Amino acid sequence: MKKIIVSACVAGVAMSLPGCVSSETAGVLGRAAGGVAGSAASYAGAGSVGSSAVYYGSQAATAIVVAILEKHEATELQRKIAQERAEAYMAGLKAAEKQKIKKQRYIAVDTQKDSRSKGKASVMVFDTQNDRLVGNDVYELQKAPPVGSAARFETVDATYVGAM
């Protein structure tokens, strides 16, 4: 039996009128969006679903559901490709963008698929503050999230940046 892990994470979306939503209201919106994402994944047949909500300051929230089909140890080539893609992504950012990403800390980058790949995307997590991959795990995703969205990979919330 395949185990499908579904994670709901909330990505902040800037408000058009700054300050019009208090952090308390944003927290309520974030929890509600996380619950909606968890319910949607459960309805889609993912079975037992845990959802979590994250909000950033006084911003509204949008839920992103990521289905992790499997997690496995990365090959040396997968590690090399993920590291290179993460470094290239960071190098291509302007100083202000780089500071924002480093503050959020983690990004998720695509790596090469191999014979164990089950999903549409093979992803690894990169720590932007320490400039290295987090662990040695490749997450096989049913579907890649939209670039720039936040997703939860076990205990880490990461911004998905794709393959670069």
Enclosing H/E stretch for 65: strand 60-73
Q: Are residues 49 and 74 in the same domain?
A: no
Final residue belonging to a domain, choices 23, 44, 68:
68
- In one-letter notation, the amino acid at residue 8 is A
Final residue belonging to a domain, choices 68, 83, 104:
68
Residue 30 has pLDDT above 70, yes or no: no
Q: Are residues 138 and 128 in the same domain?
A: yes
Average pLDDT, the chain: 73
Q: Are residues 143 and 118 in the same domain?
A: yes
Q: Are residues 104 and 40 in the same domain?
A: no
Secondary structure class of 46 (helix, strand, coil): helix
Secondary structure class of 42 (helix, strand, coil): helix
CB-facing half-sphere around the CA of 5: CA atoms within 13 A: 14
Mean pLDDT on 14-24: 39
Residue 48 has pLDDT above 60, yes or no: no
Q: What is the pLDDT of residues 85-108, one digit of tens each?
A: 999 999 999 999 999 999 989 999
Looking at the DSSP bridge assignments, the partners of residue 65 are 8
pTM above threshold 0.95: no
The total of structural domains in the chain comes to 2
Q: Are residues 62 and 110 in the same domain?
A: no
Domain enclosing residue 75, as ranges: 70-162
Would you say 159 and 145 are in contact if contact means Cβ atoms under 8 Å apart?
no
Q: Are residues 11 and 86 in the same domain?
A: no
Alpha helices, H only, the chain = 23-41, 76-91, 95-104
Final residue belonging to a domain, choices 51, 68, 85:
68
5-9, 13-17, 147-151: which is most confident: 147-151
Secondary structure class of 70 (helix, strand, coil): strand
Alpha-carbon distance of 124 to 112, in angstroms, equals 10
